[in-house]
Amino acid sequence: MTQGEALKILKTGANVFLTGEPGSGKTHTVNAFVDWLRASGIESAVTAATGIAATHVGGMTLHSWSGIGISESLSPADIDRIATKEHVAKRIGKAKVLIIEEVSMLSAATLAMADAVCREVRRVDLPFGGLTVILVGDFFQLPPISRNKESIFCYTSSVWRDLNLITCYLTEQYRQDDADFLSVLSAIRRGEVIEEHRGHLDARRAGIDAPAGTPQLFSHNVDVDRINTAALAAITGVVKKFYMSSKGKDSLVEGLKRGCLSPEILELKEGAAVMFTKNSPQGRFVNGTLGVVTGWGDDGTPVVKTKEGVRVHTEPMEWQVEEQGKVKASVAQIPLRLAYAMTVHKSQGMSMDAAIIDLSRAFEYGQGYVALSRVRRLSGLYLTGLNERALEVHPEILKKDGDFRAASDAAREAFTEMPEKEVEGMQKKFVTAMGGAWLTPGEEKKMREKGKGKRALQSGARSDALPGRLAETLQAAREATGLAAVAKARGFVVSTIVHHLEELAELERLAPEDFRHLLPAPEIVEEIQLALAEEKDDKLAPVFHALRGKYSFEVIRLVRLLDRK
């Protein structure tokens, strides 16, 4: 099934299991669906099975979202206690669509507990209290941690069966373009590794020197810490430290810190090999881009030269937990980490041009498959060790995979044969039932052609309406006396309010009179405008430094909006 075919099914409001091989575009498809929901005025609850995955998708773990925490089982009294917590009841009660990423790492017991809490809160005796549920993941990757030997995959739960999921199995490949490497990965996935495939891997083991700065993947944290510490110490020069900042509820902030690939204290030296840990909105780098620190900017932040020769002046970026369109917590850090070593677990979801991989101590089904599939082609793979477990996937999944593929083929055939008008009718009915505003395919296409890509779709808008979050921010901005007042009225941080105003400007729905009263004194505006005029690359950090830090980034961005009108 293609991404487009899966997206068509997602838009009907069906409960869906979205799966496929690494690099098939699962996350891309989910992001497109979330964008479409937001453009239609329907906010989704985006969760994940692990903290790392939750950080990648800008959500929280299912455990936190549902209030079950670290519980392994819940009594009726426990369910009642959790359901009466105001913050849990509020988020579950307001939700319309629940998305759960990395379900391969979610146990059957956890799925059942989250389902029970949702039913209790929503007082509806349907799976997850009647929420539309989208489960995303690949069971060939890392499985849940369990103390018993019983089948613990979440598809064995009665909740999975009750959801009546439509399986969408993505079959396109966007990461690997090497036929020999694809044959190896497919063989591992089928449990049919033969001498030919071992030969391809063995050819990447002996006598091959990896380029300097190539990251290493290990199965254990102790190896990662040892390699990174030693590599940084071997570089002459002074260590510069960059500290993570945070806002929001402590428990949510701690979850973000655990899931963030950039450390709380980032220690770097000139010459250090680094990896970007977030995607650049301007497309300058992606999560997994490699480079070397070549110096420091005027504001003291690292300057990185990527493997492609691009020089990037880094700035702190935010990782956020959003709920119902509001930022509940955030952390900010330079989007870098040392690239000498990382664990296989933390690499899940990344695409890498090259990696040195030691699988001599692989101990879990799927661990080797996850590590190998991070790399785009055989020429970028440097194996230093390989055991038999690294080439094995869970035997139970080998049998189940055929069922998933057959179910996906049946769904694809059914929707292919269905008239387009009928499918559109199902999609429109879903949007109406969720209280959203129907966005016709023509309007959606018009927004994309406006040149704003994903951001325009996410900002969303019909010609006669704005999505609720932007409309409410615009109204609050018109009525408030300052940025802080707008943020308080909307329950957002100030940076999010400015971001909303920037989106409104992109949509040509923001006039100077809408926000002029939020600006500082005229002489300050003039000072900032002069500094902005001197900066040719539209970067904020040089302007902030030129103004000697007198004005916040948010104020500078607000003044910049004036000049764009």
Mean pLDDT of 111-138: 91
105/349: higher pLDDT: 105
The answer to which of 61-65, 152-156, 441-445, 544-548 has the lowest mean pLDDT is 441-445
Q: Which pLDDT score, from 0 to 100, does residue 459 have?
A: 32
**Which three-class secondary structure string do you get for 231-293?**
HHHCCCCCCEEEECEEEECHHHHHHHHHHCCCCCEEEECCCCEEEECCCCCCCCCCCCCEEEE
Name the CA dihedral angle for 71, 72, 75, 78, rounded to a multiple of 10 degrees: 10
User: How far is Cα of residue 461 from the mean position of the Cα atoms in its chain?
Assistant: 23
For 446, phi and psi rounded to 5 degrees?
Answer: -60, -40
In angstroms, the CA 529 to CA 533 distance is: 6
Residues 6+ apart with CB under 8 A from 243: 264, 265, 266, 333
Do strands 336-338 and 273-276 pair parallel, antiparallel, or not at all (unpaired)?
antiparallel
Q: Closest Cα to residue 259, out of 231, 283, 287?
A: 287
pTM value is 0.62
Task: Name the β-bridge partners of 337.
Answer: 275
| pLDDT tens sequence across 250-269 | 877 887 787 777 888 999 99
Mean pLDDT of 271-300: 79
User: How far is Cα of residue 261 from the mean position of the Cα atoms in its chain?
Assistant: 12
In angstroms, the CA 405 to CA 282 distance is: 37
Q: Which pLDDT score, from 0 to 100, does residue 520 have?
A: 87
Domains along the chain?
3-174+398-417 (3.40.50.300), 176-209+360-373+386-393 (no CATH), 211-353 (no CATH), 468-564 (no CATH)
Residues 6+ apart with CB under 8 A from 100: 47, 48, 49, 62, 106, 133, 134, 135, 136
| pLDDT tens sequence across 366-408 | 778 888 888 878 888 888 888 888 888 888 888 888 889 899 9
User: How far is Cα of residue 210 from the mean position of the Cα atoms in its chain?
Assistant: 29
Task: Name the β-bridge partners of 166.
Answer: 16
Residue 308 tokens, joined: 């492609």
| pLDDT tens sequence across 25-54 | 888 888 888 888 888 888 788 887 766 555
Mean pLDDT of 533-552: 77
Confidence category of residue 531, pLDDT binned at 50, 70, 90: confident
User: How far is Cα of residue 153 from the mean position of the Cα atoms in its chain?
Assistant: 23
Which segments within 360-465 are labelled E, that is strand?
A: 381-386
Mean pLDDT of 540-563: 82
The answer to which of 132-136, 187-191, 458-462 has the lowest mean pLDDT is 458-462
Mean pLDDT of the chain: 81
Confidence category of residue 461, pLDDT binned at 50, 70, 90: very low
Q: Which pLDDT score, from 0 to 100, does residue 167 have?
A: 94
Q: Which pLDDT score, from 0 to 100, does residue 453 have?
A: 40
